[in-house]
Chains A and B, each alone.
Chain A
Amino acid sequence: MEYIDIKLPSGEVINVELISYFKIISTGKNYLFYTKNEVVENNLIKMYVTEIIPAGTVFNVSDKMSDEEWTGLKNIMKSILTGSNNEDIIYLEIGES
């Protein structure tokens, strides 16, 4: 498991578990999947999906996301989970942008 520090739009910095970090080539935007391992009903956990604005070692989380962007991200999630190759994304290391 990999843990990172993220800076929320409120300015608060929290330590979270990294689930995935990648760039969508077509848009040039970086996205982060992370969890605070908060358990909800049906024994599921919350996964946060957010655009990341690179700023050194700290992940600045953006609080804005359009419907279109969210739809596109859900399709990417599906492609990852079904094992299909999505050539529009590049996985990134921590600190890589």
Chain B
Amino acid sequence: MKTQLISGVQNIIAIDLVKKETFQKKRQENLKSKKTSVSNEIILPQDTLEISPESMRAYKESQQPKPDVDPLTNAELLSQTFEKKEIHTENTLNSGEYLEIVNEIAKAMDILDNVSAKVVKLMPTNVKKESSIHQDLLTPVNNDYHESVQNTSNQELQPFSPERNIFDVSQGPNL
């Protein structure tokens, strides 16, 4: 190393230009590489912070192969979604509105109970049993009608009289 100690001064040396440039170059290169590594260290955590767990989960799910979706299944899912929305709407009723609806339903239930009770009470007196209905059908409703029918049939079915349908050929045509 071509260095020369300056006489009388401990911390001064004489160097050539090559050594001076070497010192300068080494520092510049080292600072440049330090900047690059530091900037990488800064960028990586920032990128990591930008990805939330939900985003990461959604990304992983999107990367998984999707099964074939049945259109019917889609329709079912849509209807389920629609029903859920309806439920959500009902849930938005305030307590007064909700109680009013419950009371209306209770009234309607009472009315139905009363009606069914009355029907049960009326059943034994006004509704005939099936056996009696069959018997009624076999008995004549109007005796006069049956008698007239019998008379009419008797007249139409008179006994056959051979004399009335025989022509007397021996007397010749009656012209």
Counting residue pairs across A and B whose Cβ atoms lie within 8 Å, the total is 71
How many interface residues does chain B have, given as a range?
A: 20 to 34
Q: Is the CB of A81 within 8 A of B19?
A: yes
Q: Is the CB of A46 within 8 A of B31?
A: no
Q: Is B4 an interface residue (CB 8 A)?
A: yes
Q: Is B27 an interface residue (CB 8 A)?
A: yes
Q: Is B73 an interface residue (CB 8 A)?
A: no
How many interface residues does chain A have, given as a range?
A: 20 to 34
Q: Is the CB of B14 within 8 A of A44?
A: yes
Q: Is B22 an interface residue (CB 8 A)?
A: yes
CB contacts (< 8 Å) of B6 on chain A: these are 40, 46
CB contacts (< 8 Å) of B134 on chain A: these are none
Q: Is the CB of A20 within 8 A of B15?
A: no
Q: How many angstroms from the CA of A70 to the CA of B74 in the assembled complex?
A: 82
Q: Is the CB of A46 within 8 A of B27?
A: no
Q: Is B122 an interface residue (CB 8 A)?
A: no
Q: Is the CB of A22 within 8 A of B1?
A: no
Q: How many angstroms from the CA of A15 to the CA of B23 in the assembled complex?
A: 19
Q: Is the CB of A45 within 8 A of B15?
A: yes
- Closest B residue, CB atoms, query A65: B11
Q: Is B10 an interface residue (CB 8 A)?
A: yes
CB contacts (< 8 Å) of A77 on chain B: these are 1, 3, 23
Query: Looking at chain A's contact residues, is the secondary structure mostly helix, strand, loop, or mixed?
Result: strand
Q: Is the CB of A91 within 8 A of B27?
A: yes
Q: Is the CB of B31 within 8 A of A91?
A: yes
CB-contacts of A52-97 with B (<8 A): 65, 67, 70, 77-78, 80-81, 91, 93
A36 to chain B, nearest CB (A): 10
**What 20 additional pairs, Cβ within 8 angstroms, besides A49-B12, A81-B1?**
A19-B23, A20-B24, A40-B6, A42-B4, A45-B15, A46-B6, A46-B14, A47-B14, A48-B12, A49-B11, A65-B10, A70-B11, A77-B1, A77-B23, A78-B1, A80-B23, A91-B26, A91-B31, A91-B34, A93-B31
> Closest 5 CB pairs between A and B?
A44-B14, A91-B30, A20-B23, A49-B11, A91-B27
